Amino acid sequence: MCGIVGYIGNTPAGDILLKGLRRLEYRGYDSAGVAVKDSDNIAIEKKKGRIDNLDLESIITGNVGIGHTRWATHGKPSDENSHPFFDCSESLAIVHNGIIDNFVALKDELEKAGHNFSSQTDSEVIAHLVEEYYQGDLMDAVTKTVSKLEGSYAIVVMHRDHDALIFSRNQSPLVIGIGTEENLVASDVPALLDHTNEVKYLQDGDIGRITTEDVKIWNDKGLEVERETKVIKWSVEDAEKGGYEHYMLKEIHEQPKAIHDSFLGRLVEFNEVDFSKYDIDLINIISCGTSYHAGLVGKYIIEEITGIQCMLDLASEYRYSSSTEKYPFTIFISQSGETADTIGAAKEAKRRGCKTLAITNVLDSSLTREVDEVIYTQAGPEIGVAATKTFTTQLIVLYLIAIQLGLRKGKILIEQAETYRNELRRLPRRVEVLLNDVDAIQDISERVLADAGDIFFVGRNINYPVALEGALKLKEIAYIHAAGYPAGELKHGPFALLTNKTPVIAICIKDHTFEKMLGNIGEIAARESPIICVCQEEMELEKLCDEIVVIPEISPLFSPVLINVVLQLFAYYTAYNLGRSIDKPRNLAKSVTVE
């Protein structure tokens, strides 16, 4: 996820672009840049780091320009990998948000045709493709360029000989701002609101042009179209959160896309890691907090799909544990890639002779430099302190790894792998269905959970770690004491705490533990605790439970993704009812860089 903005009008573009980029910083912030054109030339100023590092003194005055704030996916954050990108002759400049899946092949062809590249990004191919096709008609060159691109993109292109900005989108957002004697284009509405509240949302395949006076759009069939003009009533702050009251809720709702982006281009050919290089008979997963819970779910996924034994360690414990005789293949999971405990554990694993892999959301983060292999989750930036979409995408990567290893080990055949892949393909839609109907969750949060002093979460098998994660989320943002347990463990002690004032959230899935879970629910009911059951179908459960939340149909192995979304929403709405500081809970930081 990156933020892009373009301006054309009667006012110097530099400051307008910077202001727009600041409004889009929530989309990425590892580097930034702007390109501005006067009558003869385009000048670019771009740097690694925050927008404030840009020095606009070096930018010529001009009323046309494009800007970019980056969330790195291909090529580490650096000055060279920052946008905008020039073509070879510095006649045109582009900004891009998205991922060009076929950039390696395109770059190869372009280099053979004599183009010189200055970065490691996928995006730079766009500048050189436009250059390759340009024969005086910029719109024609961009149209030919996008026909060659596979993947996701929102792009804006400027040329020193044209007083216009050309744009196009496919699976990445782009919106036009209609001003008076000025027009803008941006990844999101906040970048436009200082100029106008009249916007046009583009659709996939759209390509178009803004000048100072007008906006023209053509659809993917080449027909000129009129996209409806909408009037935005949000404040800038509301708009940055996409109309959601909190980043956390926005990020919960971004999960269908985050899931899709995390398996895009990886379902069949997962070639970021060549597992054939490693002899993997034992896996250890090491992480902290929510990432530890993702690792615990991963243990069930990996053992089921690959038959490989999988162990777990908390990073803070692993570092100081006695060395083992074995050298398991060790996977580190960290949203930020900056958690001190996890980085310390990665150093220790290396010292012990383990081969290591990191799963992280942040390109080139410190953890990535400590390990042999890296897989990125592609969730986009997560601003809310409580991890939501990054947990979900960590699970997606664990499914992908397990399918790959299962095939290699001969534990599953290609047909079984395809069944698993189909489950992944269906997940975004299933999460969407769940998110479209949250009334029951909202109501239970307000009526049952917000007043509780203690809440228990129970599950069995693969949903036991989901219970742990549900409890952690509630503690973090609602400040209510909560504990997650395997359902069979309550009778070994916690039963002493159950009363009619301690709600129990029970995860009940139609797997081989279903009958046992029914028994556990009966035991809890006997202690008169209010039972909220998260399940697939009501069946006998409505007789035993006080509240029921039904999730869309899904196989047990993939159910943690859906169940966890329900638990995220319980935490969110409970905290909301209590008026908590949801995006910045007390005493917590987004990444914990101290031991």
379 binds ligand M6R (CB under 6 A): no
Q: Is 354 one of the annotated active-site residues of the chain?
A: no
Is residue 342 close enough to count as binding ligand M6R by CB under 6 A?
A: yes
Which of 156, 387, 401, 438 touches ligand M6R by CB under 6 A?
387
Per rule CB under 6 A, is residue 397 in the interface with ligand M6R? no
Question: Tokens for 213?
Answer: 């006076």
Binding mask 257-296 for ligand M6R (x = CB under 6 A): -------------------------------xxxx-----
Among 120, 171, 577, 591, binds ligand M6R (CB under 6 A): 591
- Minimal distance in Å, beta carbon 405 to ligand M6R? 22
Pick the closer one to ligand M6R by CB: 207 or 571: 571
CA–CA distance, 458 with 481 (Å, rounded to integer): 14
Q: Which is nearer to ligand M6R, 63 or 334 (CB)?
A: 334
Measured distance CA(577)–CA(451) in Å, rounded: 9
Answer whether 389's CB lies under 8 Å from 383's CB: no
- Binding positions for ligand M6R, 433-452, rule CB under 6 A: none
CB of 523 to ligand M6R, least distance (A): 30
Report the DSSP beta bridge partners of residue 287: 314, 333
Place of tokens 């009526």: 447
Rounded to a whole number of angstroms, the minimum distance from the CB of residue 258 to ligand M6R is 15
Nearer to ligand M6R, 340 or 539 (CB): 340
Query: Taking CB under 6 A as the criterion, which residues in 221-240 touch ligand M6R?
Result: none
Percent of residues in the chain assigned helix, strand, coil, to nearest 5: 40, 20, 40
Which of the ranges 24-32, 139-147, 332-340, 532-540 carries the binding residues for ligand M6R, by CB under 6 A?
Answer: 332-340
The radius of gyration computed from the CA coordinates of the chain, to the nearest angstrom, equals: 25
Site string for ligand M6R, 472-491 (x = CB under 6 A): ----x---------------
Size of the site for ligand M6R (CB under 6 A): 16
Q: Which amino acid is at 593?
A: T
From 255-263, 328-336, 346-354, 572-580, span contacting ligand M6R (CB under 6 A): 328-336
Residue of the chain from 259, 305, 385, 401 that contacts ligand M6R (CB under 6 A):
385
Residue 533 known to be catalytic:
no
**What is the identity of the amino acid at 307?**
G
Catalytic residue among 2, 288, 533, 545: 2
**Residue 392 interacts with ligand M6R (CB under 6 A): yes or no:** no
Where does residue 228 fall: left (phi above 0), alpha (psi -120 to 50 degrees), or beta otherwise? beta
Chain center to CA of 242: 15
Looking at beta carbons, which residue is closest to ligand M6R? Answer: 289
User: Strand 373-376 to strand 356-360: parallel, antiparallel, or no bridges (unpaired)?
Assistant: parallel
Least separation in angstroms between residue 383's CB and ligand M6R is 12
- Cα 256 vs. chain centroid, distance in angstroms? 9
CB atoms within 10 A of CB 330: 26
Q: Residue 306 or 361: which CB sits closer to ligand M6R?
A: 361
Smallest Cα–Cα separation from 97: which of 170, 190, 189? Answer: 170
564 is a site residue for ligand M6R (CB under 6 A): no
Q: Does 219 bind ligand M6R (CB under 6 A)?
A: no
CB of 271 to ligand M6R, least distance (A): 25
What minimum distance in Å lies between the beta carbon of 585 and ligand M6R?
A: 8
- Does 334 sit near ligand M6R (CB under 6 A)? yes
The span from the CA of 496 to the CA of 180, in Å, is 69
* 215 in Cβ contact with 208 (< 8 Å): yes
Looking at 262, 336, 356, 392, which residue binds ligand M6R (CB under 6 A)? 336
Q: How far is the CB of 473 from ligand M6R (least distance, A)?
A: 7
φ/ψ of 84, rounded to 5, equals -75, 165
Name the nearest CA neighbour of 301 among 176, 399, 205, 182. Answer: 399
| Identity of the residue, 335 or 463, whose beta carbon is nearer to ligand M6R in the bound complex | 335
Q: Residue 284 is encoded by which pair of tokens?
A: 């250890």
Long-range CB pairs of 169-172 (<8 Å, 24+ gap) are: 169/202, 169/203, 169/204, 169/205, 169/206, 170/98, 170/146, 170/204, 170/205, 171/98, 171/204, 172/97, 172/98
- Contact of 259 with 230, CB cutoff 8 Å: no
DSSP lists the bridge partners of residue 210 as: 165, 215
Residue 26 or 153 with smaller CB distance to ligand M6R: 26
- Minimum CB distance to ligand M6R, residue 422 (Å): 29
In the complex, minimum distance from the CB of residue 378 to ligand M6R, in angstroms, rounded to a whole number: 15
**Residue 487's closest CA among 529, 459, 465?**
459
**What are the distances in angstroms from CA 247 to CA 183, 223, 363, 411, 592?**
28, 37, 21, 41, 19
What's the CA angle centered on 463, arms 457 and 464, to 5 degrees? 55
Active-site amino acid positions: 2, 590
Binding site for ligand M6R (CB under 6 A): 288-291, 334-336, 339, 342, 385-387, 476, 588, 591-592
